[in-house]
Each structure stands twice: as structure tokens, then as C-alpha cells.
Structure 1
Amino acid sequence: MGRGWLNTGGRTLSLEDFRGRVVILDFWTFCCINCLHVLDELRDLEQRFGDVLTIVGVHSPKFVHEADPDALAAAVERYEVHHPVLDDPDLVTWQAYTARAWPTLVVVDPEGYVVAQLAGEGHAASIEALVAELVAEHRAKGTLREGDGPYVPPTPQPSTLRFPAKAIALPDGNLLVADAGHHSLAELAPDAETLVRRIGSGRRGLLDGGPDDARFAEPNGLCLVPDELRATLGYDVVVADTANHVLRGVRLDDGTVTTVAGTGEQFMVGAPDNLVGELAGEAFVPGSKVPSRDVKLSSPWDVTWVPELAAFVVAMAGNHTLWAFDGKEGSVELFAGTMNEGLQDGPLLDAWFAQPSGLAVERGAVWVADAETSALRRVDAAARTVSTAVGQGLFDFGHRDGPARPGALPAPAGCRDAARRLGAGRRHLRRRAPPLRPRRRSPRWRRGHHPGDGARGAERRLRARGR
């Protein structure tokens, strides 16, 4: 079988344990931003259909580090995964269900048949409609089993910090920490141990207000506002509130939190409703400034002040770009990147990034930790160009039986398009779901293979069968 289960209280599960329930298998990996988006999409489904629906995360690692069981356990805790997770380090279950993209969702009906398979994110509405239909159908047939699922929450361990993401020094010598796991900010004394106060209630959500009422969702990035702007802006710190898809402003004297950019909804590439308010219905134009509260953002992961631009630069991990936020004007613009995922240098709006997650500024350059390409990128603010300082844009698909030959990073834009077409409609496959207790065998997955190749291949096969 796979290496084991998480969130089951030590119990080993099989499909027989889910008979009579609607099951969604979520093939994911914890360093994939699209997979993290799907985790958020599934939360509402878990709450609405919790008595008849079981979600099972099948963790299918892409990188060597993701196959580490301790790292997986930490990720399950950090991202608050509230359903059973099968650890599938050899990708045996991934192969059994012919998954080819991160993430892939497979819907299994209460009688054990696969009825739909969708690749990519943004399928929440379609899956919700499908689950509601399956529940009604099998309740009428008498094949639906209602009640609690197999999820067993782990015992919480109290701690001052839980998955701290970034720390900055405050003017008084204290430290402010983005306490992502506690959905709050923690102010520490200069000894970096003594908790002075907490800003945020600690409950996941999006709510402005005082330090005891405000809510964050996995805040990751922090940036101190320059002295000369604090009085004008009315806040002292900018926070990249990642899972809320917004930027927040925090006033240090009383801990008041205000949303300064974003709507709380995720920017979806190609969607017609990324602009709201007076701009609703208009097309989003890269490089054009728009009011900061009238545009959706996508998983802002870090934020830093760039004096040469007189603006804050935001690592927008969710759509592989960098944005500029002008707090004085109350505007944002797409500053660098095309929203294609990959590694390509050149002029700002022609460059490709892949999940930019960390930022630093030095002498007119913005340094970007470009996570999915394992590269360090340099943005020259004056020349308005992007170059790669470290890394070659190679994926390392090594696994436990030894490192693999890295494959050159392909152009995943085509992968995303194929995934959208593949999952655009409901695919009634009506085939028995393979077991969740896979036989041990050597993985047939070709390392260096990108999921887009499989998505395109699956699409060709569907066309050949007339689907």
C-alpha cells in the first residue's frame, strides 16, 4: 500500500470504507499554488456536504522535498487540511487514476464508480452541482450513507508561533512576525521569544477592525511603510494576506487592520470579472493602473518597498506575476510577468515567472525567489528588465530511489489551457474506482515529465474516442 495515511487517527482506509458516500479524490502536492487554491475551494464543499461527502487528499509529490513524510505532515497542518490524506510518494495511486496534472480531482459516486475527472483549479461550482446531483440520485436509490466521515483531527500543539512566514524589525526594536498558521501577526520583544501582543483574532477569515476582531488567512509577507508615507497612508505595515487574496494595512499604535488592495476573491486568468465596481465588465490591461480595491488579486505571497518605483512590489504567486501597489494613489498595476508560468527573461511585461514567493531589494534591483523554477530572478527597476541570476529553470523530479535527470521547463501555459479544456465539462466515465491500497511496484512515471504532456495526451485520447 502507500506509505500511510494522515488525519485518520492511525487507521488505514480503502474505498470500501467510503461506500455509500460521494468521494472526491484530490491529487495534490504541497508546493503547488494551484493545489493550494483547490484546498480553499474544497473547504466550502466540506462544510456544506459534510454528512454525505468525503474528500480524500492523495499527496503526489513533484519534488524531492515534497516526498519527505515530515514535510508532508507539516504541510497538512499548515494548510489546515481537514480530511484524510493518503501519502503516495511513489505515485502508484496517481497512476492508477491516470492523473496527469497538479491538481486533479476525481469524483466517485456512492456505488464506487468514477463519474468525473477534472484537471486544474476553478471547478468549485461544477463540482458542487455534480455532488448535489449525486446526493439526490443516490438518496432516492437508497444507496447514500449519511453520517460522519473518517476524518480524525490531530491533537493541537500550543505554541507562540505556528509556521511563521516572515519577520520585520519595527522602529521600537520589536519584531513583527507573519504568523501564518495562527492567521495573525505576532509582535515579539527584541529577544524574539517574548510575545508582546497579537494582531488578529486567530480565526481564518477576512475582517477589518481592531487587533482582537480582525481576521487574516495565512498571512505570509510583511513590509514596513517608509517613514515619510506613514502619516499620509494612515498605516505602518503592509501585509500580504495570501489566502484572502488581499493586501492589508496595519496601524501599529492601536493594531487596527484595513484592507487596502484586493476584493477578497481570486483573480482568475482570462475571467471577465477580475475588475469590480466602476470597472466591472472591462478587460484587465497589464501595465495599466486600476483602483486597488476594484481588482482581484491572486495569492500575494510577499511585499517589499522599492524606492526607485515609489511603490510596493508584490509577489503574486497565484498568477506568476509581480504587481506594484501605490498606496498614496490607491492603485495597483501588473508590473512584471505575462501570467504564463515558466522561466523567460526580458522586458518586464514579456517575462515569465513561476510562483514568485520571496522578495528583497538592493540598489535598484528587486530580487525574486521564483519557487517553481528553482531560480533567483533579478528585476532591474531602471532598465525595466528581468534576468535570471541563479538557476536554469529546471524541475528536479528526483524521488527516493535517486535523483532524476532534470527536464527543461516547458511552457505550462499550454498545459493550463489543455487542463481547462479537459475539465471544462463533466466526464461520466462510469468505471470502477481503482483501490486506494495500491500494490507496491516501481513507479512507471517518467521523471522529468511535465503534467501538461499527460493532459494533452488525455485530451487527444478523449477526442479519439469521440468524447
Structure 2
Amino acid sequence: MTQTSPARLPRVRASELVGRGWLNTGGRDVTLADLRGKVVVLDFWTFCCINCLHVLDELRELEAQYRDVLVIVGVHSPKFVHEADPVALAAAVERYEVHHPVLDDPELTTWSAYTARAWPTLVVIDPEGYVVAHMAGEGHRRNLEILVADLVAEHEAKGTLHRGDGPYVPPAPTSGTLRFPAKAIRLPAADGQPGNFLVADAGHHSLAELAPDGETLVRRIGSGERGLADGGPADARFSEPNGLCLVPDELRGRIDADVLVADTVNHAIRAVRLDTGEVTTVAGTGEQYMVGGGENVLPDVLGAGADRSGVGYQGPPTWIRLSSPWDIVWSQDLAAFVIAMAGNHTIWALDLEQNQIRRVAGTMNEGLQDGPGDEAWFAQTSGLAVGPDGRVWLADSEVSALRWLQVDRFGGVQVRTAVGQGLFDFGHRDGPADAALLQHPLGVAVLPDGSVAIADTYNGAVRRWAPAPDRDGPGEVTTLARDLAEPSGLLVDVHDDGRIDLVVVESAAHRLTRVALPARLAGEVLDAGAHRTQRPVSEIGSGEVRLDVVFTPAAGQKYDDRYGPSTRLQVSATPPDLLLDGAGDDVPLTRALRVNPLVREGVLHVTAQAASCDADPAIEYPACHLNSQDWGVPVRVTDGGPSVLTLPLHG
């Protein structure tokens, strides 16, 4: 089959790149004129966004393959207030090994010029300075490869392609025992002495065992090179490991593992033997599971007994693709290891004795919705901790929420929210939990009294949720510690005399920090303000407005309707009264909305999905993919405003 090139946009001149400053350029500003003669990919991203981090990984090989003709420019357009801090952005660029120029765009100036509406968005500019493609979401790697190859061939023939180095200037290397550590656990004590710490040293792509002082390096497990390889401590490779879980004593002999590791960018769970430092892969294939991308593995491999009912299906763990596992804990109630699958907003259970893994909560839609596990919505599930009552506490980062899961009397999972308002509301506000605000928390720990400590990452704080005295109210949130550098993990140390310390993984400070908690665990009550995600507002008219989600399958693919409708569109609004009609879930990617003229502004929440598959009938097992994107579109209702709102969903 002849593979066609991706559809090109009409020739429109690219807008100038305008922002607060540049990173990875040696201090020099970059203009479009400087990039003439190169194929340019603008990557609109924000460092909180897991989908944006997936795109960074998708672009690495393309960037290396076409280094002399392709320039990738990251345009950092922040969602959270913390992400607008230039120091935090510089740390993120280093943390995620971004090896191309990055424009700091805190006012969303360039974002607006290119009409981006979602994180991530990719815009391709040809060597003559014209925009030729505009793609929202992740999963465009193959399409980009085809487009870049076509542009290189076309402009080399025209004489408008210039080979040579781009504007990237690598920053000076840094060194230290830890580099952007993520989580830590305490290892078993020996001879009555405190146990060592085991730290997921994400920036060094390894595990670091530290002495009880939290500073002295005892040994390192992993070569320090990014990759996926099993073996001894000098040969094994990780890629940005995050969560760590000590295997319960009674299980260690049966599953041949002492510690499990959520190896995030490898989309895998790794097992570690502490005596030898040997690392093995116990779940995941090393490839990312794309949301809805057809069967995870071939049905004949899973076998007829595989359970695909409800929210997930069971299968051998090393045959199942995962998506950015962020943390892992042991749940006695589920008799399994619970995994926060950040990449597709779900919770999974791993049973290594039965050699099974299954999804137990989350629909893969992004948002905040409680209820039974098969109906709940999450948003970038991150830190986990288990309470004495069996509750699994969750830092649900993109909705800035503290949530919990518990097994009900029927064996199902129920999901509830203790703190959090939704995708677009965040801040630092203490007080009654139903009005309190967090900002992108990544870690949790259960304190001895049953309250929950929260690593409130983007507020640089440790917060505490305590239940109401009568257990019927929403509880209360206070602040235990401030002025921390992106705390991402918490560990509780209880001393013999009753004193309680929190060991805080200060990720952006590259260290473990001990925080002594007050005797009454009350904390202080702060109100540093509430924030709502600020993005350019789209004007729409009152009355009838047509919502069009435009989808074009990737090159060589077609709509996949083998198992039913190939598209789905979900629409809701904040406030709900914004829409008099048109909210809900339906198949077509076009929807007639009736906008309330009495509500002058709000946010339209749109989730669109379109399934596509290889078009060549000769392919026995076609590659399939569910293209999915969530938008939160701020709108202003004006009399006589536009009657059409168009959102691009590219294959």
C-alpha cells in the first residue's frame, strides 16, 4: 500500500515566538528568522501534564534522527501558578532532560497566536516559515515521522532546506547524590538500628540506598543510564522511577522480591532483591498503553478465560501495556499491589502470586467524579498510601485533590473525594475540607491518628487533612510545613517517645528533609488564595452554537468501526447552567449546544474520542488507536458572538 502524507493546512505564515525568555539557548533569544531553512515543531506543553511528558518521550528519537534539519521548540504555557515560576520551569527542563530550546510563555502569548486549546499541542512549520500541521494530544509520533520526511525531501529538492546545528545549547552539568528524587521508603531495620532509606532517584534513573542520616550513599541500584534492562545493580536500567513499595514479609519468599518499583517512563513495574540488587520486570511490556488503542494484547495470547468485563480485564502482567505508573502500595483488602496509573487516570491491582493484573477503578476519562470504581474519573493519579482501616489514599494531582478508595462489602471499589474542586481550581486554602484548595499534590502519608499528610507539591507545602470529630462532616485542612522545594513524597517516622517526624522528599532541592510535627498535629490555618486556570477566553454567542470536533485519521489509517461507533463526544459545563441543552454523551463529533444568555462566562468541558485503524486490508493484525483529547475551554457569552466552536482532534 502506498502511504499518503498527512493532510497539510493552507499556507499560513507562522507567528513570531514571543515570551518572557528562553532556556537551552545559552541565553540567546530565538526568532523565526533564525530557524528559516529548518523543519520546526512547536511543542506547546506544561510540566504538570503527563500527556505532555509522553510527547517529550515520543519526540526524543525523531529529534535524534533529524538533528541537522529539525528543530523542536518547546513552548511552555503553564496551567498552575507554580509552573509560571521561571526557576521551577528551569528545574523541569533539567528534570525531564529536554534537549531543545524552550520558550517561557507565562502570559500564553505564543499559545494564543497559534490558537492552541489543549496541552499538549504540536504545530509544524516548514523551512519557508509556513504552518503546515496542527495536532492536539499525544500519539502523533508516526504521523510526525512521515510529515518531517516529506518536508525534508520537498525542501531539499527546492533548495530551501539548510542542514547544520540548531540553536540548542546544553546547560552546564550538575552533580549530587540525588537528582530530582521522587519517593522514599524505609528498609527493614537490622540489629535494633534504624533501617536505611531507599530512594527513587528519578533524575539519575536509578535507586539510591542512603544511610539512616538520609545523606550518606550506601549503594546504587541501576547503571544510571536511561533504559529498560534487567540484571544486577550495575547493569539494570530504569527510566525516571517514582513509586516504591516494600513487599510484605509473608510474600517475599513466594514472589522472590523485596521491593517493587513504579518505573514510570518505562511503563513497567520492576522487582528488586535487596540482598543481591538484582532487578527484574514483573509487569508491563516497556511500551505505553495508548487510551483505547484496541486490544492491549492479542486475544489468542490472553486466552479465552481472560476477563475483559467491567473497568478492565485480567491478564499476565508482563503481557499488558501500562501507562506511566507513578506509585505502588500493598493493599491487604485487595490482596494485591495497587498501582496509580498516571498516564491514563486509573487505578490497577497487581497480584504476583496469581500472575494477574487488572484495572479496578477509573474510566480513563480525565476529571473528578466519585462513585463505584467503574464509574469514577481521576486525573493523573499519583501518590498512594494505605490507612489502618484499609482505605487507599490518593494524591490525584491534576484535579489538585485528596481522594480515597475502599473495598465495599460486595468486593467492589468505591471512590470518594476528601479535598478538591476539579481540573481548573487550585490554590492554598485551609479550613473546612469541602472549601480547601491544594495545588498539584504528588504524595500522601497516613499519620498515626488516622489523619492524612499531603505533599502539596506546587504549593511547596505539607498539608494535613483530619476527619471531622463526628466523622459526618467534611473534615478540616491545615498546613504543617511551608517553603519546601516541590515535595513529592512523604515518610512517617514515629519515635519511641511518641515524637513524629515526616521525612519529606524535596524533589527540586535534591534531598530528604526531616520535618518535626507539632505534638497536637494541628498545623496552622492559611489562606494564600484561590486560583483558576487562566487561558485565553473563546467568545461564543448566546442561543444556538454548533460544536465541531474535526478529526482526520493519521496517514494510512481509517475510522475503526469494527466493534461499534468509532467516535464519542462528551460535553458538560461549569457552571452547569451555562448549557440549556447539548450536555451529555453521544456518538457524533458535532453537537448543537443551546447557550444560556443569562450566564455570561464559564468553561465548556469537552472530551472527544475517535478510533482509527490501519486501512490496508492485507494487514492481519492492524494497528489501532483511540485518539482522545480533553478540553476545558473558557468561554465568554456575547450577543451576536460566533455560532460555531471548532476543536481539532488529529490522528
Write the mapping of 1:263-342 to structure 2, written as runs, cut at 5 A: 263-276=285-298, 278-279=301-302, 285=309, 286-342=311-367
1:156/1:449 CA distance change after superposition, 3 Å: farther
Question: Which amino acid is the alignment partner of residue 394 of structure 2?
Answer: V
Query: Are the equivalent residues in 1 in contact too, given 2:77–2:106 (CA < 8 A)?
Result: yes
Q: Report Cα offsets for 1:385-436 as digits up to 9, x if no partner.
A: 11111112251389xxx965579xxxxxxxxx987x546458xxxxxxxxxx
Contact in 2 for aligned 1:275/1:283 (Cα 8 Å): no
CA distance in 1, matches of 2:291, 2:321: 11
**What is aligned with 2:480?**
none
Report which of the two has the higher share of strand: 2
Corresponding position of 2:272 = 250
Matched, 1:390 2:408: no
Offset of residue 4 of structure 1: 0.5
Paired with 1:42 and 1:280, the residues of 2 have a C-alpha distance of: 35
The alpha-carbon deviation at position 378 of structure 1 amounts to 1.0
Residues 246, 262 of structure 1: 8 Å contact kept: yes
Question: What is the CA distance between 1:288 and its match in structure 2?
Answer: 2.9
* Cα contact 1:422–1:455 (8 A) shared by 2: no
1:184-223 equivalences in 2 (<5 Å)? 184-223=206-245
Q: Does 1:377 align with 2:406?
A: no
Alpha-carbon contact 2:362-2:377 (below 8 Å) kept: yes
Measured against aligned partners, the alpha-carbon deviations of 1:122-166 in whole angstroms (never above 9, x if no partner) come to 010001100000001111111111111111111111110000000
Contact preservation (8 Å) 2:307, 2:314:
no
Q: Does structure 2 retain, via aligned residues, the 8 Å contact 1:176–1:186? A: yes
Q: TM-score, normalised by structure 2?
A: 0.63
1:92 deviation in Å?
0.3
Once the 2 structures are TM-superposed, how far is the Cα of residue 269 of structure 1 from its aligned partner?
1.3
Kindly indicate whether the alpha-carbon contact (under 8 Å) linking 1:60 and 1:89 is maintained by their aligned counterparts in 2. yes
Q: In structure 1, what is the Cα distance between the partners aligned to 2:644 and 2:207? A: 45
- Higher percent of residues as helix: 1
Is the aligned partner of 1:96 residue 2:94?
A: no
Q: How far is 1:267 from its partner?
A: 0.7
What is the aligned counterpart of 2:178 among 154, 158, 161? 161
Equivalent residue, structure 2, for 1:366: 392
In structure 1, the residue corresponding to 2:182 is in which secondary structure? strand
Quick one: distance in 1 between partners of 2:420 and 2:603?
Answer: 16
For residues 61-87 of structure 1, give each alpha carbon's deviation from its aligned partner in whole angstroms, at most 9, with x where no partner exists.
Answer: 011111111111111111100000000
1:301-341: CA deviations, max 9, x gaps?
00000111111000000000000000111210001111111
Aligned partner of residue 54 in structure 1, secondary structure: strand
Deviation of the 1:287 alpha carbon: 3.8
* Residue in 2 that maps onto 1:441: none
Answer yes or no: is the 8 Å Cα contact 1:119–1:423 preserved in 2.
Answer: no
**Counterpart residue number, 1:55:** 72
Gaps of 5+ in 2: 1-17, 190-194, 428-528, 535-546, 556-600, 606-629, 636-641
Distance of 1:78 and 1:448 partners within structure 2: 32
Q: Any unmatched runs of 5+ in structure 1?
A: 408-416, 427-445
Q: Secondary structure in 1 aligned to 2:374?
A: helix
- The equivalent position to 2:631 in structure 1, one of 437, 442, 452, is 452
Give the residue type in structure 1 aligned to 2:302.
L
Q: Identify if the C-alpha distance between structure 1 residues 368 and 459 changes in structure 2 by more than 3 Å, giving closer, same or farther.
A: farther
Aligned-partner Cα distance in 2 for 1:124–1:280: 31
Q: Distance in 2 between matches of 1:253 and 1:165?
A: 23
Q: Could you tell me whether the CA contact under 8 Å between 1:167 and 1:176 is conserved in 2?
A: yes
User: What is the deviation of 1:351?
Assistant: 0.7
Contact preservation (8 Å) 1:62, 1:397: no
For 1:113 and 1:342, how far apart are their aligned partners in 2? 36
CA contact (8 A) 1:34 1:103 kept: yes
Mapped to 1, the partners of 2:231 and 2:548 lie a distance apart of 43
Are 1:240 and 2:262 counterparts? yes
Identity value in percent: 67
Specify the alignment match of 2:372 in structure 1: 347
Matched with 1:434 is none
RCO higher in structure (CA 8 A, sep ≥6): 1
Q: Which amino acid aligns with 2:166?
A: G
In 1, Cα distance between the equivalents of 2:643 and 2:140?
18
| Residue number in structure 1 paired with 2:158 | 141
- The CA distance in 1 between the partners of 2:287 and 2:363, in whole Å, is 20
| 1:272 shift after superposition | 1.6
- Report the alpha carbon displacement of residue 382 of structure 1 after superposing the two structures with TM: 3.4
Q: Is the 8 A contact 1:405 1:447 kept in 2?
A: no
CA RMSD of superposed structures (Å): 2.6
Q: Is the alpha carbon distance of 1:14 and 1:447 closer, same or farther for their aligned partners in structure 2, counting shifts above 3 Å?
A: farther
State TM-score, norm by structure 1: 0.87
| Residue pairs, 1:14-29, within 5 angstroms | 14-29=31-46
CA distance in 1, matches of 2:36, 2:169: 18
Q: Is structure 2 residue 281 aligned with structure 1 residue 259?
A: yes
Aligned mates of 2:135, 2:36 — CA distance in 1: 22
Report if aligned partners of 2:603, 2:632 keep a CA contact under 8 Å in 1: no
Runs of 4+ in 1 over 4 A off after TM superposition: 280-285, 402-407, 446-451, 453-463
Contact 1:57 1:86 in 2 (8 A): yes
Tell me the SS of whatever aligns to 2:123: strand
Residue 6 of structure 1, CA deviation: 0.4
Give the number of the structure whose alpha-carbon radius of gyration is greater. Answer: 2
Q: How does 1:125-136 map to 2 (within 5 A)?
A: 125-136=142-153
Using a 3 Å threshold, how does the CA distance of structure 1 residues 60 and 116 change in structure 2: closer, same or farther? same
In the superposition, relative to structure 1, how do residues 191 and 65 fare at CA in structure 2: closer, same or farther (>3 Å)? same
